[in-house]
Structure 1
């Protein structure tokens, strides 16, 4: 087995219907330019349209890299905290979620970890780009850090930001960078978030 390098990216900015905005396409293109120097073996994306479009925009800059859907990358709630794990301010977020929905989210989160959060299943290093959603990036970062399950809450990802995790044989996962936006100009950073000052 060898090191698996995961390049995690949230889709570009999307409209209320889940389609990429012009800003979102620009963000994805800039991320593709940044990743052009990486020896990418595969680009995986969520089945949702905003991730599909982002992946194909990124792929324009990655010559010959196969692009495919991974159902495990779909947007979902990976873990519903117990009442004693949940700050009062976040409690309304989970109102209306029933046990079946929570169980389905947990199964998808487990499948995501089982598929991607392990060393490369081959002798050579593996470099994969995963175009997904904020919650899935938070879940994979939480898993890499071996943090409590509820800790996925509060780990935000900006549109087209880059998070890198390395899964190495015989070693704990390495979180190389989180939510890096250095490839984006200031006006394209933090789209989709409330209007506060960001560095």
Structure 2
């Protein structure tokens, strides 16, 4: 049974203008070193500069023939604007100013993201197919949405599923089976001083 493995990573640390910093570049390189032992078929990245730069930085550690290309569905977006009843009090102010058009646009992007990536390989009439391994360099919210989808959780459950810069999340998809979350927000490829960037300030283990 062929398996589609998605290796999801938030971009490296970025500055206030959305450009990758030296720390972010180092984080992306270390993620590339970790993924060097994986038979990666493709590296997909968000259209935003911090994700594109991270993708190319990590791809330096992969074979030269690995495809590195943009996927519009990976752009940073709010995938679902919850109703007032679904919104935790601490998140209420975050959604101020989101009108119906913006909410609908984000939801369409979220649906397109799932339709393109969150599915098993198409093996219809193709005989035995190899597993596929795809790296998706994106942002915290799309990763949260894909994890929520894999768990078959309510749409509002993407809230609070945060990812650190270049932390690794792996999800497997097989026909006839629910998705498997292999790991979430794993930072073992980063030294302690490069972990937890992109998270709010606080005590971290």
TM-score range, shorter chain: over 0.9
Post-superposition offset of 1:3: 1.0
Does the 8 Å contact 2:163/2:199 carry over to 1?
no
User: 1:2 maps to what in 2?
Assistant: 2
Post-superposition offset of 1:2: 2.1
Q: Give the structure-1-normalised TM-score.
A: 0.98
Does the 8 Å contact 2:170/2:183 carry over to 1?
yes
User: 2:146 maps to what in 1?
Assistant: 140
Paired residue secondary structure (1:85): coil
Post-superposition offset of 1:195: 2.0
Post-superposition offset of 1:192: 2.2
Paired residue secondary structure (2:85): helix
Post-superposition offset of 1:121: 2.5
User: 2:11 maps to what in 1?
Assistant: 11
Q: Give the structure-2-normalised TM-score.
A: 0.95
Which segments of 5 or more consecutive residues in structure 1 lack a partner in the other structure? Answer: none
Post-superposition offset of 1:150: 0.2
Post-superposition offset of 1:120: 1.4
User: 1:172 maps to what in 2?
Assistant: 178
Paired residue secondary structure (1:107): helix
Aligned pair count? Answer: 199
Q: Deviations over 1:30-67 (max 9, x none)?
A: 00000000000000000000000000001000112110
Which whole-Å CA distance do the structure 2 matches of 1:174 and 1:180 have between them? 15
Post-superposition offset of 1:132: 0.1
Alignment of 1:73-152 (within 5 A): 73-122=74-123, 123-152=129-158
User: 2:46 maps to what in 1?
Assistant: 46
Which segments of 5 or more consecutive residues in structure 2 lack a partner in the other structure? Answer: 124-128
Which whole-Å CA distance do the structure 1 matches of 2:71 and 2:182 have between them? 23
Post-superposition offset of 1:88: 1.2
Post-superposition offset of 1:124: 2.0
Alignment of 1:64-75 (within 5 A): 64-75=65-76
Which whole-Å CA distance do the structure 2 matches of 1:197 and 1:89 have between them? 19
